[in-house]
Chains A and B, each alone.
Chain A
Amino acid sequence: MAKGVLVDIPKCIGCESCSVACKLWNELEWDEQEKNKTAIDRAKEPNNGLWPEEWTSINRYDLEKDGESVARYVKAQCMHCEDPACVSSCFSKAFQKLPEGPVIYDQSLCVGCRYCMMACPFDVLRYEWKKAIPGVRKCQMCATRVANNQETACTSVCPTGAIIFGDRDQLLAEAKKRIKENGYVDRVFGEKEAGGTSWLYISDTPFEQMRFRTDVTTKPLPSYTEGYMKATPFVGVGWAAILAGLYVFNNKGKEPLD
């Protein structure tokens, strides 16, 4: 059964335990540059808090709701698409979508072309620009934990239940139930976006005000180039045959060049 995580945005109090758990479980380095940043800073920077050593981040958005100003904390990380663009864009199979849900990356296969970064519909991939031998870095959805029937590190420490781990289908039903009960925005972000993602978000404030890519396509991205790649071998062979025919025809009875 494919796993997923449901993020109930209004429930998050911004304690950032999830970020700490992520660092500890994945043995990510403490980055000097990230030490003094607040959730407000991160929400405003281009990288939204995601860096090679920061696989998840909490970003704070100060919004207006029913005439009141409210703060909403949004957890950012890889969305783990059902049919990921990074997997299809990688020409050396460094990315893989596991049946349990996680999209994982293997640096030993990576050439470093960064087409995945260009292709990612949610722009969550980060590159180790400072290293001589760099790799792509992103949330791996604790693939080894999930494979062993454990939940992800971040969800395991959330004190408010803002992020919960479970079967994606059940989480989706739960999300829809909560939308009705709490009068949330009628959209589960991740249900259909980019063909569906393992991570699902629900919110009481508009998604577009919290840097969600609300206009993203609902078709799985690999479907955009699938037909082209399937047709290529046939086009190539056909075109070569036409050229060979033309070559023979046009060179008939003529002295060869050179």
Chain B
Amino acid sequence: MELVTTVVSRAGAKMSSVRWKFRMTPMRWVFTGIAAAAIAVILVRFVLGLGATTNLNDQWPWGLWISFDVLLGVALAGGGYGTALIVYVLRRDKFYPIARSAMLTSLLGYIVVVLGLLIEVGQWFNFWRPYVSWGHASVLFEVFWCISCYTVIQILEFCEVGTEKVFKGAHKYLKKAMPVMLIIGITLPTLHQSSLGQLFYLMVGKVNPLWWTAFLPVFFLLSSFFVGAGMIVIESTLAGKALNHKVEIPVLRGLVKISAGAMILYLMLKITDMVVRGTFANAFAFDLPSIMFLSELFFGVIIPIIIAFSSLSSTRKGLIWFGILTVSGVIMNRFDVLFTGMGKYLNQYGGSYVPAVSEFIVSLGLVSIACLAYLFLAENFNIMGNHESEHADDITIKDGKYASTAK
């Protein structure tokens, strides 16, 4: 599919006309198929309600959609604010080549979260209520405001990229606003990533003590930060295949090391927390929660730290393993807080919850839509960085090169 618009640009501009292209590959057809199935389920959900499309019940008012689409979606999209912090605020220009793609992934992640929430809540048409009816004692109030404002900020940030190609007149204004948007765009996610953890602090006595702690906000914030590098590695590997563009190893390695630094802090805090609250016995009871808790820490944090600080992270294979383990660790953690953490309490009088097939379809469908959108945007806008570095396959480039990319 290729579409050429007839807008003639001014003399000296890079492109003579605006081209839109989207090449359908077998994988993209699969995404489209899943997305179509999800849209069908979503329509049924709006007509017949949540009971008809989910296995949610009064014991389990929150299920897959909250844990996967919201808790996890927000965490995995966390790479955006982390990268913005490292690149634009701390000016580690080395990482500039991945900034745009990381921030685009984050934007799409948040759009998925917002869509997921609209499907998930009972009275979706009332979504605007918290803007006027302030339930400011609720942690969710903060999450709501931050996520919605941050999504808008991210859209504006992307417009700065978009106006390089279309509506070029607005570009210079957006560029001027970038510093402010970046600072707000780092502050908001810092607040709501931690608040997503704090949400569970209200469920006193319901969540397993292994996960229920006053440190919940810190743990959620730190893990959303360190999972960023893992996501960028995975995303750049997948996008590298699809779009024939690879990010250089030193860039990824540097990022992975920053991430592992945050992991060490996370691990130390986890241990401190266990000492303070005396939950060592729970952690080594070797029942289901304990096994989940330990494997989450061992496979999702300790091994990635080892990979990051050993020679393993100088190979693409090592980096990919870092990505897979880190992301799986955070997925496990978010599921653990809700399902493993609350299972014993919520099932004590015979309650049960296994997500329905339709719930899985919607979750996968939303991810598919995000993937398709990512591919479209990455193919049509300057996301992957300087076009010169395209097709660069495992060529190590000296630091000097990045400075020129950054210009």
Interface residues in chain A, defined as those with a beta carbon under 8 Å from any beta carbon in chain B = 44-48, 50, 85, 87-94, 107-115, 117-119, 121, 123, 125-135, 211, 213, 215-217, 219, 221-222, 224-226, 228-229, 232, 235-236, 239-240, 243-244, 246-247, 250-251, 254-255, 257-258
How far apart are A173's CB and chain B's nearest CB, in angstroms? 29
Further contacts, 12 of them, CB under 8 A, given A87-B137, A225-B202 = A46-B58, A46-B350, A88-B137, A89-B139, A91-B130, A94-B133, A110-B129, A111-B124, A134-B50, A217-B204, A229-B136, A250-B91
B93: interface (CB < 8 Å): yes
The answer to whether residues A115 and B406 also contact, given A90-B135, A251-B91 and a CB cut-off of 8 A, is no
- A-chain residues with CB within 8 Å of residue B129 when the two chains form the complex: 92, 94, 109-111
- Going nearest first, the 9 A-B pairs with the smallest beta carbon separation are A112-B122, A129-B51, A114-B61, A92-B129, A91-B141, A117-B61, A250-B91, A112-B121, A46-B351
A226 to B284, CA, bound (A): 33
The reply to whether A229 and B137 form a contact with Cβ atoms under 8 Å apart is: yes
- B-chain residues with CB within 8 Å of residue A46 when the two chains form the complex: 57-59, 349-351
- A-chain residues with CB within 8 Å of residue B49 when the two chains form the complex: 128-134
Contact digits for B42-57, partner A, Cβ 8 Å, 1 yes 0 no: 0000111111100011
Closest to A213 in B: B205
Where chain B touches its partner, the secondary structure class is helix
How far apart are B86's CB and chain A's nearest CB, in angstroms? 11
The reply to whether B124 and A112 form a contact with Cβ atoms under 8 Å apart is: yes
List residues of B (80-126) whose CB comes within 8 Å of A's CBs. 85, 87-91, 93, 96, 99, 120-124, 126
Range, interface on chain B: 35 or more
The reply to whether B121 and A113 form a contact with Cβ atoms under 8 Å apart is: yes
Option from A87, A89, A114 in Cβ contact (under 8 Å) with B122: A114
The reply to whether B51 and A130 form a contact with Cβ atoms under 8 Å apart is: yes
- A-chain residues with CB within 8 Å of residue B183 when the two chains form the complex: 240, 243-244, 247
Segment with Cβ contacts to A, from B20-28, B185-193, B292-300: B185-193
Closest to B129 in A: A92
- B-chain residues with CB within 8 Å of residue A219 when the two chains form the complex: 204
How far apart are A120's CB and chain B's nearest CB, in angstroms? 9
A-B contact pairs, 18 of them (CB 8 A): A45-B350, A48-B349, A89-B202, A91-B140, A91-B141, A91-B144, A94-B129, A112-B122, A121-B204, A129-B58, A133-B122, A134-B123, A211-B349, A225-B138, A236-B187, A254-B91, A258-B175, A258-B178
The answer to whether residues A93 and B350 also contact, given A117-B61, A119-B202, A133-B123 and a CB cut-off of 8 A, is no
List residues of B (25-76) whose CB comes within 8 Å of A's CBs. 46-52, 56-59, 61-62
B203: interface (CB < 8 Å): yes
The reply to whether A127 and B191 form a contact with Cβ atoms under 8 Å apart is: no
- B-chain residues with CB within 8 Å of residue A119 when the two chains form the complex: 202-203
- B-chain residues with CB within 8 Å of residue A135 when the two chains form the complex: 122-123
- B-chain residues with CB within 8 Å of residue A258 when the two chains form the complex: 160, 175, 178
The reply to whether A92 and B126 form a contact with Cβ atoms under 8 Å apart is: yes
How far apart are A254's CB and chain B's nearest CB, in angstroms? 6
- B-chain residues with CB within 8 Å of residue A226 when the two chains form the complex: 137
Determine which residue in A45, A85, A115, A121 has the highest number of CB atoms from chain B within 10 A of its CB, and name it.
A115
B355: interface (CB < 8 Å): no
Closest to A133 in B: B123
Contact digits for B194-208, partner A, Cβ 8 Å, 1 yes 0 no: 010011011111100
The reply to whether B127 and A111 form a contact with Cβ atoms under 8 Å apart is: yes
A213 to B199, CA, bound (A): 21
- A-chain residues with CB within 8 Å of residue B85 when the two chains form the complex: 243
- A-chain residues with CB within 8 Å of residue B56 when the two chains form the complex: 127, 129
